[in-house]
């Protein structure tokens, strides 16, 4: 029996989805906000999530971002007409599919079955807690391996340390002094330029076009971040 979580802040929508999915050997969980959804996923073996985008407190985008740090179960977004920007953002950060309100029950069930079949039959496996993935970059801190676009990449220990720091803190800007202190484990004493050199080397290995990086960005006058 598959465990499916339905998360939407509108109770009538949750109720309708439960009706659509009943009778298909699914064990259904329900949540009405992102915080509740994350708690259920933490405590249960969930195989698929139907996730609303627009919710109070923690929205669907934030929930998905959190999930993709260590979970790879299928996530289907529940979207309203006119939320095209959110659909694209969701797909870019790891959503597997989306259905638009009002739902066509036959289409919804077909999409759920398709995603479950792909997940359960085509070699799905839970991501290891030591694995970080952002865009085309995947880092396994247990094996100390880095993969870019499916290919293993060799980094020096300092390059690896910088990349891990940025990936563990997605979107956070680190000043060169902060990076140096965290990776070299000492104050920079004017050696912050070393960080820029290492960042350039990392970009050469992990960017299609190092001069126009998609992942490791500079925030002028402040430092570096990964997105």
| pLDDT (tens digit per residue) in 164-210 | 999 988 888 999 999 999 999 888 888 888 999 999 999 999 999 98
- Per residue in 28-75, pLDDT (tens digit) is 999 999 999 999 998 888 889 999 988 888 888 889 888 887 778 899
Query: Where are the domains positioned within the chain?
Result: 2-121, 131-226
Residue 106 burial by Cβ neighbours in a 10 Å radius (0-12, 13-18, 19+) = exposed
The yes or no reply on domain 2-121 and CATH 3.30.710.10 is no
- Token pair for residue 61? 């985008």
Q: How many whole angstroms separate alpha carbon 214 and alpha carbon 202?
A: 12
Q: How many whole angstroms separate alpha carbon 213 and alpha carbon 216?
A: 6
Cα–Cα nearest to 58, from 40, 70, 72 = 40
- How far does CA 223 lie from the centroid of its chain? 23
CATH classification of 131-226, choosing from 2.40.50.140, 1.10.10.10, 1.25.40.10, 3.40.50.620?
A: 1.10.10.10
Cα–Cα nearest to 147, from 158, 157, 160 = 160
Cα–Cα nearest to 62, from 94, 34, 87, 42 = 34
Beta bridge partners of 50: 6, 76
DSSP-assigned letter for residue 176: H
pTM for this entry: 0.55
């Amino acid at each position: 029996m598959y465990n499916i979580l339905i998360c939407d802040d509108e109770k009538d929508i949750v109720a309708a989805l439960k009706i659509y999915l009943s009778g298909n050997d699914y064990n259904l969980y329900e949540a009405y906000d992102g915080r509740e959804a994350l708690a259920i996923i933490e405590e249960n073996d969930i195989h698929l999530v139907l996730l609303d985008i627009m919710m109070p407190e923690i929205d669907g985008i934030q929930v998905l971002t959190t999930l993709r740090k260590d979970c790879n179960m299928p996530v289907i977004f529940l979207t309203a007409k006119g939320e095209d920007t959110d659909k694209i953002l969701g797909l870019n950060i790891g959503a597997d599919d989306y259905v638009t309100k009002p739902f066509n029950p036959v289409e919804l069930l077909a999409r759920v079955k398709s995603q479950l079949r792909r997940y359960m039959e085509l070699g799905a496996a839970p991501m290891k807690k030591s694995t970080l993935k952002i865009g085309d970059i995947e880092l396994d801190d247990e094996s100390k391996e880095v993969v870019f676009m499916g290919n293993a990449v060799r980094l020096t220990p300092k390059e690896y340390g910088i990349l891990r720091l940025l990936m563990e803190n997605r979107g956070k800007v680190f000043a060169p002094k902060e990076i140096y202190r965290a990776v070299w484990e000492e104050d920079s004493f004017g050696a912050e330029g070393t960080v820029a050199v290492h960042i350039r080397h990392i970009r050469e290995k992990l960017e299609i076009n190092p001069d126009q990086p998609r992942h490791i960005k500079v925030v002028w006058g402040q430092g570096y971040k990964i997105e």
